[in-house]
């Protein structure tokens, strides 16, 4: 039943986003007359304008904004962004390998991919909305993951948060940073999900509160999952002594997002460093909840002796892919030694024309500027981003170690001290309850009214009409049989009788015919004479 409800929830929530996407696509079709990316880009960023954003002939600037916002609505649904984020954690009812696939490469990546694909069409106003939605999502989902105890739910909210990072990067003009994080996230998130599947396979439960101490029973799974945790936390060695930073794949992609946030802050002093600090806080929370997951699952003493006794390492068919993905989680963002060949240069070659030099202010927000992405790689911005990210990730790791590794701090004390916040995060910011009250109950109430109208009004009218038609048909049948048929039958009998009577005159005797002819002529002659 819960799996069925989760499927319905995912379907319905995504239809809401799709409605906006249809509006955006129709705005493009009605004005540009094409759905081809190449033809759209040629009109929106023509060569004559140096590939700068330009409202094409026949399409107002505001319609371009509406089209961008509509397309982004569909992306919000697909990538489970605020406020349509509620379906993704429930989708964890599905098999874990499927979760690994959809979180790494298919469903939830589709929204970010489409934002990246349509990036040249988005105006500064639309990009700012994308950044705001991404920032809200990454922070909110990260806070929810802090309190989750279902291992797959933690990873689900982690995915929502990381997708928020990608949206934030794209919204701030960091096309390369957002798409790079999409690729690196695919590596370590599929690793984390398959590791969780290995744990669930061994323990028979999703609840981390029933696990503990599994590193002794599952060494390969524990090590590969630790690598995944380090990758998603952005672990690495920051730039120092003139040497470029080096770390796990998440280190390079997440720090690129941080650097783009700093670059945006420099180009837009009115916004301050809000986006940078949101991303920074999210990085610290990410580190905390991921190492919380690892400690609760693999460290310490077993919380359930029965589960621990039956736990075992997964077979090579399951651990083999974990080791391959662990390697990718480490090196996916690296360049080949002594070359410029790597994922980042490759993606740079795929960048849409005109998106590398930034976007000036739009009609509504003329003071908002999306900085050129290469400015984010200025040494000062890159180093500050790396060290800031390194610091908050280390802080999150130490905090998780104090609570769940060394047990120097008691989580129960923290829950009591911060009970309002804990309850807020535990109940997922009350979004399910809010949507249930504002939308689900109202829809069900209206549905009840519609059912009642259908049953007691429409059915009554339809059945009453049927009864009236039946009665009229029966009356018509009676009139047809009693009056019409009787009259026709009477005329038929009279005609038949007349014919029988006249038949007697047809004797076949010629002399008799001549006699009657003469009688008739005489009679006519007499009548004419009398009338005259």
Shared domain for 483 and 420, answered yes or no, is: no
Residues of the domain holding 472: 462-531
Distance CA 102, CA 293 (A): 21
Shared-domain flag, residues 193 and 308: yes
3-state secondary structure 27-90: HHHHHHCCCCHHHHHHHHCCHHHCCCCCCCCCCCHHHHHHHHHHHHHHHHHHCCCCCCCCHHHH
In-domain check, residue 364 = no
Q: Which helix (H) or strand (E) holds 316?
A: helix 316-331
Do 381 and 487 lie in one domain? The reply is no
pLDDT for residue 142: 94
pLDDT at 377: 61
Q: Are residues 393 and 476 in the same domain?
A: no
Backbone angle region of 430, left / alpha / beta, with phi > 0 → left and psi within -120 to 50 → alpha: left
Whether residues 402 and 490 fall in one domain? no
CA distance 276 to 259: 8
pLDDT of the chain along its 532 residues, tens only? 677 788 888 888 888 999 999 999 999 998 888 888 888 888 888 776 777 777 787 788 889 899 999 999 999 998 889 899 888 888 777 666 666 666 566 677 889 999 999 988 888 889 999 999 999 999 999 999 999 999 989 998 999 999 999 999 999 988 899 999 999 999 999 999 999 999 998 888 888 988 888 888 899 999 999 999 999 998 888 877 666 778 899 898 888 899 888 888 888 887 878 999 999 999 999 999 999 999 999 988 888 888 888 888 888 988 899 999 999 999 888 887 777 788 888 888 888 877 777 777 677 777 787 887 766 566 677 788 888 999 999 999 999 999 998 888 888 898 898 999 999 999 888 998 898 898 889 999 999 999 999 988 998 889 889 999 999 999 988 888 888 888 888 899 899 888 888 777 677 777 877 888 898 899 998 988 888 6
Angle of CA points 255, 159, 345, to nearest 5°:
40
Residues 389 and 472 both lie in one domain: no
502 in the same domain as 406: no
Same domain, yes or no: 204 and 274? yes
152 and 31 within one domain: yes
DSSP string, 332-366: TTPBPTTSS-BHHHHHHHTPPTT-SS-B---SS-T
Do 385 and 523 share a domain, yes or no? no
Asked if residue 468 is part of any domain, the answer here is yes
Q: What is the pTM of this model?
A: 0.83
Domain assignment present for residue 445? The answer is no
422 Cβ contact partners less than 8 Å away, ≥ 6 residues apart: 147, 414, 415
Same domain for 159 and 69? yes
Among 399, 426, 453, residue at a domain's last position: 426
Tally of domains within the chain: 2
Does residue 171 fall inside a structural domain?
yes
User: How high is the pLDDT of residue 158?
Assistant: 92
pLDDT of residue 236: 86
> For 303, what's the count of Cα atoms within 13 Å in the CB-facing half-sphere?
14
Residue ending a domain, among 365, 398, 426, is: 426
In a domain, 158, yes or no: yes
Tell me: do 389 and 524 sit in the same domain: no
Angle, helix 151-171 to helix 175-203, in steps of 10 degrees: 180
Is residue 449, in this structure, part of any structural domain at all? Answer: no
């Amino acid at each position: 039943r819960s799996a069925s409800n989760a499927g319905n929830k995912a379907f319905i929530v995504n239809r809401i986003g799709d409605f906006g996407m249809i509006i955006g696509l129709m705005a493009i079709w009605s004005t540009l007359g094409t759905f081809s990316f190449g033809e759209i880009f040629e009109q929106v960023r023509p060569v004559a304008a140096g590939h700068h954003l330009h409202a094409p002939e026949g399409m107002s600037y505001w319609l371009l904004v509406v089209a961008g916002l509509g397309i982004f609505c569909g992306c919000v649904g697909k990538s489970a962004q605020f406020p349509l984020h509620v379906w993704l954690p429930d989708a964890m009812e599905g098999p874990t390998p499927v979760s690994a696939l959809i979180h790494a490469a298919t469903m939830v990546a589709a929204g970010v991919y489409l934002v990246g694909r349509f990036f040249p069409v988005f105006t500064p106003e639309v990009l700012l909305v994308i950044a705001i939605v991404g920032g809200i999502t990454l922070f909110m989902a990260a806070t929810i993951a802090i309190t989750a105890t279902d291992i797959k739910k933690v990873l689900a909210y982690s995915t929502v948060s990381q997708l928020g990072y990608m949206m934030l990067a794209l919204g701030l003009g960091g096309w390369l940073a957002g798409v790079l994080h999409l690729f690196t996230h695919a590596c370590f998130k599929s690793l984390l999900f398959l590791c969780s599947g290995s744990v669930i396979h061994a323990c028979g439960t999703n609840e981390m509160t029933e696990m503990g101490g599994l590193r002794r029973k599952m060494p390969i799974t524990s090590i590969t999952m630790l690598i995944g945790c380090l990758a998603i936390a952005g672990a690495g060695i920051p730039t120092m002594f003139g040497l470029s930073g080096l770390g796990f794949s998440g280190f390079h992609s997440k720090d690129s997002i941080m650097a783009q946030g700093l670059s945006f802050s420099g180009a837009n002093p009115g916004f301050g460093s809000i986006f940078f600090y949101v991303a920074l806080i999210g990085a610290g929370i990410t580190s905390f909840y991921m190492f919380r997951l690892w400690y609760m699952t693999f460290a310490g003493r077993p919380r359930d002796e029965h589960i621990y006794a039956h736990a075992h390492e997964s077979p090579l068919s399951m651990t083999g892919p974990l080791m391959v993905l662990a390697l990718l989680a480490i090196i996916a963002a690296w360049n080949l030694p002594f070359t410029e060949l790597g994922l980042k240069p490759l993606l740079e070659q795929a960048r849409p024309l005109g998106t590398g030099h930034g976007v000036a202010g739009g009609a509504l927000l003329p003071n908002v500027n999306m900085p050129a992405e290469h400015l984010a790689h200025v040494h000062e911005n890159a180093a500050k981003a790396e060290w800031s990210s390194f610091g908050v990730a280390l802080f999150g790791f130490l905090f998780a170690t104090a609570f769940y590794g060394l047990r120097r701090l008691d989580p129960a004390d923290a829950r009591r001290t911060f009970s309002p916040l804990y309850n807020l995060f535990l109940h997922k910011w009350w979004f399910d309850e809010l949507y249930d009250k504002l939308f689900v109950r109202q829809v069900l109430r209206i549905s009840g009214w519609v059912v009642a109208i259908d049953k007691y009004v429409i059915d009554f009218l339809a059945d009453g009409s049927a009864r009236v038609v039946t009665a009229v048909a029966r009356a018509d049948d009676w009139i047809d049989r009693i009056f019409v048929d009787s009259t026709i039958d009477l005329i038929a009998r009279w005609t038949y009788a007349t014919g029988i009577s006249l038949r007697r005159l047809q004797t076949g005797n010629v002399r008799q015919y001549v006699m009657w002819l003469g009688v008739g002529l005489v009679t006519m002659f007499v009548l004419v004479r009398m009338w005259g």
